[in-house]
Amino acid sequence: MMKSTIGKVLAAAVAVVCTATLAACGSSEGPNPNPSLVPGASPGGSLRIGISFDQPGLGMQDGDKYTGFDVITATYIAKSLGVTEENINWVEANPANRENLLASGAVDLVLSTYSITDERKQVVDFAGPYFVAHQDLLVRRNEEEITGPKTLDGRLLCSVTGTTSAALVKEQYKGKIELREYARFSECVDALNRSEVDAVTTDDVILAGFAAEPQYKGKLRVVGKGFSDENYGVGIKKGNTELVEQVNTALKEYIADGSWKAALDQTVRPSGYKIPAPPTPGS
């Protein structure tokens, strides 16, 4: 009886240390490949998950291979729900169609640098946040005059339709900044590289991924003066509160067992992006 009690105490102590140090008890090589099942999980099922297909370090498709922080996060959540990686069906989720994908049932979850906003919460539910980014600017390497949105008067700025980044520019800088919108950030970055626009705006972590891509490395840079907070959440069909709770449980474990940090170290840190402290899912 004494050994059993001591064992429980030690186990509880280890759990506290893991939570406090994040990566202390996680794998040094990567995220935990076998997370614990959340309450109510039904092993053996499948999931359709919406992700970005063209965001380096976050959500990228290369043939039948999918990589990035959002992909690793989604895979961890799926395993916590009892769904193996082989039973995940990846669907492209662009800013313009994320709400429709969820409302129509075309996907079960959306993890595509999906910022939680009051407006979006009117039509979808969110678990999370699981990451906090900041809106910033991407410019050409030798561009010194652009230091923030206030220095873009008369300049041509590019963003993507349906994003909080585009909405902020329209709301706060209407009539001062000319905004060009595309369907994908990769199109904006290509336009910047060809000098067709003066800057690209979206979340700093997305921009850092593009700046680190081989075809842009040394040509583009992130200004590094964020001017908004973007709380990334997992989009879930409105009204599915049980799934929201399950995903929040999985995300808390994802952070506590070191997998969150390991995933960022593997996918985002190589771009030079400074990894922030983890948020509190469900807050």
Q: Taking a C-beta distance cutoff of 8 angstroms, is the pair 206, 54 a contact?
A: no
Q: What is the mean pLDDT of residues 90-113?
A: 97
Residue 156: give the domain boundaries: 135-222
In a domain, 18, yes or no: no
Q: Could you read off the pLDDT of 142-163 as tens digits, one per residue?
A: 999 999 999 999 899 999 999 9
Phi-psi category of 133—alpha, beta or left, where left has phi over 0 and alpha has psi -120 to 50? beta
Whether residues 177 and 245 fall in one domain: no
Side-chain-facing half-sphere of 266: CA atoms under 13 Å: 19
pLDDT at position 10: 36
| Residues 115 and 52 both lie in one domain | yes
Model confidence at 11, pLDDT cuts 50, 70, 90, reads very low
Is residue 246, in this structure, part of any structural domain at all?
yes
CATH number assigned to the domain comprising residue 115: 3.40.190.10
> For 200-243, how does the pLDDT look when each residue is reduced to its tens digit (9 = 90+)?
999 999 999 999 999 999 999 999 999 999 999 999 999 999 99
How many domains, in total, are found in the chain? 2
Q: Are residues 120 and 153 in the same domain?
A: no
Name which of 200, 195, 161 is nearest 177 in CA terms.
Answer: 200
Would you say how long the chain is, in residues?
Answer: 283
On whether residue 22 sits in a domain, the answer given is no
Residue 249 lies in a domain: yes
Report pLDDT for 8: 37
State mean pLDDT over 126-137: 98
Tell me the C-alpha distance between 176 and 204, whole Å.
22
Cα distance between residue 147 and residue 61, in whole Å = 32
172's tokens: 């706060």
Question: 12-21, pLDDT tens digit by residue?
Answer: 443 433 433 3
